[in-house]
Structure 1
């Protein structure tokens, strides 16, 4: 098998894994919206997800490579792990939880698709090798997908967003930028140290490293609203299982598979655009939200076209990729 064929198959496999992760990530928007509709405080929504995720991860870690390698990596470089988890887990999810009360779940899901281009646009600030160059073709397809998201938003809001919606939109755009940055910073850190961690071990490590910050967020939530209602705890547990474990491991797996192929890495991150389509269906089915109408349907079509275009883009023969240490799969 030639190198180009191998890289093509690896890229397409990463896109498939990233799409599957998008399906599980979508439950974040739906369940967070349900929690906000019942009056749950946004800080509890954020903190409970990761406080519950840690004990849920413990019994499955033997199947994901074990806890010991991640624990050793954190002890060796605690500040690097704290920084990556603070960016890619804590601030990212606090902003997303705050925005959950803004409107339909697919409004938040749509805004989050800024992540389609955020990771690529941040590449010049993160890398010092060939990956610092923004792939023009991939960026173009990302902009096409983002245009579809904009049409969906305009169709849903009937051309007007109120003050609360604009604040929520800013929060989600910030969240969408921080998530890929945290992930990429961790991958870069592991490259520099030569530590080999599976996707599951990376998720466990960042979840563990972020715990002190989540206890601080919990203290703030307690001071603001007292103890969370049990309904909010159960909804947060659903998010922890679907998004905190299943989806995050799948996403880390997908990006780790193609971390040396810039266009494919951007494509894997862009597959999160499918969350918008999943959120529309789930929101209508379980939350009684309205279907999109008018130009919103054209936006949905552009999102689907963008996903197909990314798959085509990474299926083309490419130049030799950057050589990096091999990463074991979870």
Structure 2
């Protein structure tokens, strides 16, 4: 692989991380404008569904998806509700807890979530927790705690703990739902493309979004124009643009572990982008002191985690995307 090609893939991944970052910023816009969190979560997927449907014909169509959904509806419903429903609802609820960089940074707990769940999910070599990667993951967790405590002046109140708990739950729910669907496809011998799988999970999580929309209507009436536009922005930037760019980047370097690790490490820049966008467009304060130290720990931990993964894990295909809610 040429150096130029690897650098191009890293640049694409960096642009992808920028678009993923709009999730945190736009969710914060909806929260500060008075929009009910249930509407923010529901609209994001209700808008994403037709967008994915429009793109799907250019990515192989439905393929084996309809048959898979009919034959194993229960499995798809359960893990779609976990991977998309619980994940997005919790992350959206937490958006009201503080600046966008706080939620973006705290969500990086997800780097150790998959490792911790591996022994409970797999029955082969994948169940082993790689200790070097886990140690680096603990650095990220330390950064998250430092970030949260610094933002709360050394003491989290009840609302702060609830918000942090919601972010942690979402950080575990996404990889759990994603891995369980992948494992199900593996065990049943079903071959689906990435967009087909994402579209299937979006369809099967539809009951959660309709229920949240009804509840949001009862609690706060119809969504405001600002909230609807924010949700549409998340759907377009994260649900479509960022995901496609990230897949393109990982596809380019799928046979080079070092380059692939560098591409994956670009997700750490979401925290930096969230900070910059929050300061420029939302009037949020820069993290400083201990909060800045926590942010730097998170970035260093994620980069280290990705580099270790790149050295230790043979690459047989493109990596999955980071969360896009």
TM-score, structure 1 normalization? 0.84
1:192/1:67 CA distance change after superposition, 3 Å: same
Q: Tell me the equivalent position of 2:187.
A: 192
Shift in Å at residue 253 of structure 1? Answer: 8.0
Query: Contact (CA 8 Å) 1:21, 1:247: kept in 2 or not?
Result: yes
Cα deviations by residue, 1:198-249 (Å, 9 ceiling, x for unpaired): 2111111111111122111111111111111121111100011122233455
Shift in Å at residue 258 of structure 1? Answer: 11
Q: Tell me the equivalent position of 2:287.
A: 292
Shift in Å at residue 272 of structure 1? Answer: 4.2
1:185/1:78 CA distance change after superposition, 3 Å: same
Which residue, out of 182, 192, 202, partners 2:197? Answer: 202
1:265/1:30 CA distance change after superposition, 3 Å: same
1:35/1:319 CA distance change after superposition, 3 Å: closer
C-alpha separation in 1, matches of 2:83 and 2:10? 21
Shift in Å at residue 149 of structure 1? Answer: 2.6
Query: Contact (CA 8 Å) 1:142, 1:306: kept in 2 or not?
Result: yes
C-alpha separation in 1, matches of 2:118 and 2:144? 22
Shift in Å at residue 184 of structure 1? Answer: 0.6
C-alpha separation in 2, matches of 1:208 and 1:215? 11
Q: May I ask how many residue pairs the two structures share in their alignment?
A: 319
Query: Contact (CA 8 Å) 1:118, 1:176: kept in 2 or not?
Result: yes
Q: Tell me the equivalent position of 2:235.
A: 240
Query: Contact (CA 8 Å) 2:261, 2:310: kept in 1 or not?
Result: no
Cα deviations by residue, 1:238-279 (Å, 9 ceiling, x for unpaired): 0111222334556678899999xxxx9999887644322221
Give yes or no for the alignment of 1:306 onto 2:301. yes
1:274/1:207 CA distance change after superposition, 3 Å: same
Q: Tell me the equivalent position of 1:104.
A: 99
Which residue, out of 36, 48, 58, partners 1:41? Answer: 36
C-alpha separation in 1, matches of 2:251 and 2:190? 13
Query: Contact (CA 8 Å) 1:117, 1:270: kept in 2 or not?
Result: no
Shift in Å at residue 70 of structure 1? Answer: 2.4
Q: Tell me the equivalent position of 2:136.
A: 141
1:148/1:254 CA distance change after superposition, 3 Å: farther
Query: Contact (CA 8 Å) 2:101, 2:274: kept in 1 or not?
Result: yes
C-alpha separation in 2, matches of 1:265 and 1:75? 35
Shift in Å at residue 26 of structure 1? Answer: 1.6
Shift in Å at residue 311 of structure 1? Answer: 4.0
Shift in Å at residue 29 of structure 1? Answer: 1.1
C-alpha separation in 2, matches of 1:309 and 1:194? 34
Which residue, out of 163, 169, 176, partners 1:168? Answer: 163
C-alpha separation in 1, matches of 2:9 and 2:113? 19
1:315/1:240 CA distance change after superposition, 3 Å: closer
Q: Tell me the equivalent position of 1:122.
A: 117
Q: What's the RMSD between the two structures over aligned residues?
A: 3.6
TM-score, structure 2 normalization? 0.85
C-alpha separation in 1, matches of 2:169 and 2:225? 30
Query: Contact (CA 8 Å) 1:49, 1:237: kept in 2 or not?
Result: yes
C-alpha separation in 2, matches of 1:157 and 1:235? 27
C-alpha separation in 2, matches of 1:153 and 1:219? 33
Using the TM superposition, name which of 39-48 and 237-246 deviates more: 237-246
Cα deviations by residue, 1:276-306 (Å, 9 ceiling, x for unpaired): 2221111111101000111222223222322
Which residue, out of 74, 79, 101, partners 1:79? Answer: 74
1:103/1:221 CA distance change after superposition, 3 Å: same
Query: Contact (CA 8 Å) 2:260, 2:310: kept in 1 or not?
Result: no
Give yes or no for the alignment of 1:93 onto 2:120. no
Shift in Å at residue 308 of structure 1? Answer: 3.1
C-alpha separation in 2, matches of 1:21 and 1:79? 33
Q: Please give the secondary structure, in 2, of the residue aligned with 1:227.
A: coil
